[in-house]
Each structure stands twice: as C-alpha cells, then as structure tokens.
Structure 1
Amino acid sequence: MATVLSVSGSPSATSRTARLLRHLDARLAAQGHEVIALDARTLPAEALLGADFTHPAIVRAAGLFDRADGVVIGTPIYKAAYSGLLKSLLDLLPQYALTGKTVLPLATGGSTAHVLAIDYALRPVLSSMGAAHILQGWFTLDSDIAVREDGTLALAPLPAEALAGIVDRFSAALHDRTASAVAARPAA
C-alpha cells in the first residue's frame, strides 16, 4: 500500500488537531497504509523562524514529504487562515514538494465562520507546491472533538461519519494512484 505522511500544523501540545489526525492515522493504518506522523511543533523553532533549509530536522522533514505517496495536512484555523507554524514548515520545503502526491487537507476551529479557510487559504498553497490531487478538505468544529480521560478521541457522530468517509476516499485515491504507477512501469 501507500506511504502517508500525516502532518499536524498545530503549535499546541494539547492539540485537538493533532489528536484528530492520530485518530484518522489509525484508520489509514488499518487499511494497510504505512502512516508517518509529523508534528510541526516538534521541529526546532530556530530552524523554522530562521528559514534554515539545511538544519538536519528540516532536511529530515523534507525527506518525509519526498518519501510519501500521500499527505494529510491538519491545521487549526486562526484568524481565517491556517497556522503560522504550518506556513513556516511549508515555506522551508522545496517548491514542488507535493508533486505527484495525493493530499487531504483538514482543519479544526472554533466557529463555522472558518469553514472556507481550507479552500481560500490552504488549497492554493498546496496546489502551488505541485500536489497531483487535492481531495475536498474537511473542517471540524472544536466542540465536536472531545478527549476522553484515557487520552483517546471522541468525535460527535456526524463529523465521525463524515471523516470516516473522507479518509476512505483518500485511501481509495492513494490506491488508484499507486496501482496506476505500478501499471505504468515498464516490464523488467
């Protein structure tokens, strides 16, 4: 199956966005994909803010993007846009780091007023980075995400059902792209 890079652009250590991504990662892994999690907040601030393209942690992160067949990008929405942390990371990647990749953008936020941020703020950046296929993104209200005492995630029923379908479509798109790539290879 495909390799999926699951990127959280949240700066918070108790991030609902990151927990939501890890929840969805489990579904992708159960479908046979290799899932690699990357929390942008764990990257060195001095490298991100200083635009240090050569910092070993940034080089490793760029390598993870290069290795992935598909990328799930999750971000909280602040002031109608994706996080500055995610912007800093994306700015340090090669211009066409998403070339040939299937991308699923996801966002969380406190109000439905931010729903269009995926399409108007994040999608253009992903497209400019060469993404082969950007699936319809999904916005989840913070109030629909709860963390149980054991640390697991509980989603409200409607978002849970919708996200399951979106992740399944992403998985199918990855399968279709990897099957096409295998079929296009010359016979040995």
Structure 2
Amino acid sequence: MNIILIAGSPSAPSRSTRLLQYAGEQLALRGHRSGLLQVRDLPAQALLHAEFGNAELKAAQALVAAADAVVIATPVYKAAYSGLLKAFLDVLPQDGLAGKLVLPLATGGSQSHMLALDYALRPVLTSLSARHVLPSIYVTDAQVAWSAEQGLTIDSAIVQRLAAGIDNLSASLLALQETAVTEFAPVHFSQVRCSV
C-alpha cells in the first residue's frame, strides 16, 4: 500500500517535518513504503493563484491520488494549521482524499493549540472525502527537539502516541488490503439462477 507524507511547514528545517519523517521511518519498519511531499517546494505563485494547470501542482495532486493513505504534518500558527498547507489543500479536487486513510500530526508552542487539529484541519480533510481521519497527534515544541549531535529527540509519551497512531494506520491499511482481496467480483443479473 502506498503512503504519501505531506509536510505543510513553510520552514526548513522544521519540527513538524522531522516528526513526519520519523513517522515515515516507523511505517517503513512495519513494511510500508512512503514518499515525502514538501508543500514548500511547490511553486508559490501557482499555489497562491490556484493555477490548476501548473505541471508541478498536477504532479503533486497525482502523488496524493495514487496514495492509499496520507500522513499530514503541520505547525500550528494562531490556532490553525499553516496557510501553506491550506493553499495546497485548496488545489486538491473536492474528492481529493476519497478512499484514503489520513493521520494528522501537528506541532505547536503550547497545549493551548491542541484543538486546532480537530476544529480546523479535520473538517477540511473530511470535506475532501477522506475515508477515515484517524485520531490526531499533537506535539508541543518542548516534546520534540533536534540537535546535530543527538539528532531527533522525542518525549517518551509522544513516542508511545506516535507508535499507537502508526500501528492504527498500519492495521487499517492491512485490513483494507485484505478486504480488497476478498471482495467478490460483480455478477451480471443474467447469470444469476434462482430456484423456487
């Protein structure tokens, strides 16, 4: 199953992108492949002007369309997800997440912004026809740190929450895969026999 990791931070490097990459590594350990889409690398003018014909935007839309699941990460600014991420979500088709599982991740300065995922991002993901938006994982800046010497350091409670979220996503993907394999092929009505 194909998973796309969408980094919605306008900054590089960023805590939310590092957290997203960690999630990708954990998914790989569970046997899933994923690709990273950094929205900040898309052409700003095309995003801001919603240039649907732009080749780079079309390629990004195709990556999302080909995915079975999406892990989306954003910093929280002013009690909402990033404007950059909003610009990208706005150029997806209305059913751009149809049939997909979505795991939202966010980082923010304090616990005060935790509900931004449920009250700001989740409704948008649902309006894009996501099959299921899994429980969000919010991380404060104090719970995730980076240093050149130690690399990424994540608070142990967050590591457990991430493991639970990733396990949930992995199990849901496997269940979908099994369902797809065991589904019956459609039978034309002319081939149905009925005895009374």
| TM-score relative to the length of structure 2 | 0.91
Aligned residue number for residue 116 of structure 1: 115
Q: Structure 1 residues 94, 151: closer, same or farther in 2, change over 3 A?
A: farther
Q: Name the SS for the 1:94 alignment partner.
A: coil
Q: Name the SS for the 2:185 alignment partner.
A: coil
Amino acid across the alignment from 2:55: P
Amino acid across the alignment from 1:71: V
**Does 2:5 match 1:3?**
no
Quote the Cα distance in structure 1 between the aligned partners of 2:71 and 2:108.
17
Give the C-alpha shift of residue 160 in structure 1.
Answer: 1.1
**Does 2:11 match 1:12?**
yes
Amino acid across the alignment from 1:176: A
Quote the Cα distance in structure 2 between the aligned partners of 1:55 and 1:81.
27
How much is the aligned-residue C-alpha RMSD, in angstroms?
A: 1.3
Aligned residue number for residue 131 of structure 1: 130
Q: Structure 1 residues 70, 155: closer, same or farther in 2, change over 3 A?
A: same
Aligned residue number for residue 101 of structure 1: 100
Aligned residue number for residue 180 of structure 1: 179
* Structure 1: runs of 5 or more not aligned: none
Aligned residue number for residue 139 of structure 2: 140
Aligned residue number for residue 67 of structure 1: 66
Per-residue CA deviations over 1:91-149 (Å, capped at 9, x if unaligned) read 00111010000010111100100010111000000000000111011100111111131
Give the C-alpha shift of residue 186 in structure 1.
Answer: 2.4
Amino acid across the alignment from 2:4: L
Map 1:71-82 to 2 at 5 A.
71-82=70-81
Quote the Cα distance in structure 1 between the aligned partners of 2:46 and 2:152.
31
Q: Which runs of 4+ in 1 moved over 6 A?
A: none
Give the C-alpha shift of residue 182 in structure 1.
Answer: 2.1
Amino acid across the alignment from 1:112: Q
Amino acid across the alignment from 2:78: K
| TM-score relative to the length of structure 1 | 0.95
Give the C-alpha shift of residue 185 in structure 1.
Answer: 5.4
Q: Structure 1 residues 185, 53: closer, same or farther in 2, change over 3 A?
A: farther
Give the C-alpha shift of residue 163 in structure 1.
Answer: 0.9
Amino acid across the alignment from 2:130: A
Quote the Cα distance in structure 2 between the aligned partners of 1:44 and 1:81.
22
Quote the Cα distance in structure 2 between the aligned partners of 1:50 and 1:15.
25
Larger Rg: 2
Quote the Cα distance in structure 2 between the aligned partners of 1:76 and 1:181.
35
* Structure 2: runs of 5 or more not aligned: 187-196
